[in-house]
Amino acid sequence: MNAGKLFLITTPIGNIADLTIRALESLRNTDFVICEEFKEGSKLLRQLEIEKELFNLNEHNEQQVIEEYILELLSGKNIALISDCGTPGFADPGLQLINRCIEMSVKIEFIAGANSVLTALVLSGFDISRFRFLGFLSPKSDLRKKQLSDLSNFKYSTVLMDTPYRLMTLLEELNDVVPDKKIFVGINLTTPDEQQFRGTPSEIIQEIKSKYPDEKFKAEFVLVVSPARN
């Protein structure tokens, strides 16, 4: 029996209309779907009116479940892998399964779609002919400041991500380390609630506080730091 194929399917980062026709067809035609979290995976399938058995794979169980999925693939099953939003394996679980498929010569098909990093880079207005993706920084403040310390002289735009509740902390740290840097913050990108903030860290902090004076602001975000001037 021929082995099946793993479909790496990029799901919308906010706007369901961004799902591609190819992604929709693949979700419909695979034998089952592996999702990051059942709540988000089942929500997506309901929106698409797809009834499909769901299994999960995340940072807590990836090592334990990989071999089960490999056996299913080797038995001829076609499997879709999705994350809560965006691209599996890119700042999301899935890399270990991808590498195991490569080791076992299981075919992998990547289905592209909306990407929060590229969306933020384009919206930033900065030079993005070259850029650096730092992704999620350390949760420890002292280590984070060390990671941010070279931004003042780095000659390419830099992309940062973090959990929603840590946005204001990151802005405060940027204000401490690179107070004069121009930055872009994209909030809830592609959704009806999308917001775009541009300016120095302190300017953006003040703008957010003026809009939300009575609440601790948190939201899904991508942050881009401008390149150093020549």
| pLDDT digit string, tens, across residues 16-55 | 999 999 999 999 999 999 999 999 999 999 999 999 999 9
Rg (CA), the chain: 20
The Cα diameter of the chain in Å comes to: 63
**C-alpha dihedral (194, 35, 42, 54), degrees to nearest 10:** 170
- pLDDT on residue 142: 82
Measuring CA to CA, which residue among 99, 92, 112, 109 is closest to residue 40?
92
149, pLDDT greater than 90: no
The backbone torsions φ and ψ at residue 34, rounded to the nearest 5 degrees and listed phi first, read -100, 125
Q: What is the average pLDDT score of the chain? A: 93
**What is the set of domains in the chain, with CATH numbers?**
5-111 (3.40.1010.10), 116-225 (3.30.950.10)
167, pLDDT greater than 70: yes
* 215 exposure class (CB count in 10 Å sphere: 0-12, 13-18, 19+): exposed
Give me the mean pLDDT over the 132-160 stretch.
88
Return left, alpha or beta for 196; rule: phi > 0 is left, psi -120 to 50 is alpha, else beta.
beta
67-111 tens-digit pLDDT: 999 999 999 999 999 999 999 998 888 999 999 999 999 999 999
Q: Write down the pTM of the prediction.
A: 0.89
The pLDDT confidence band at residue 137, using thresholds 50, 70 and 90, is confident
CB 147 within 8 A of CB 185: no
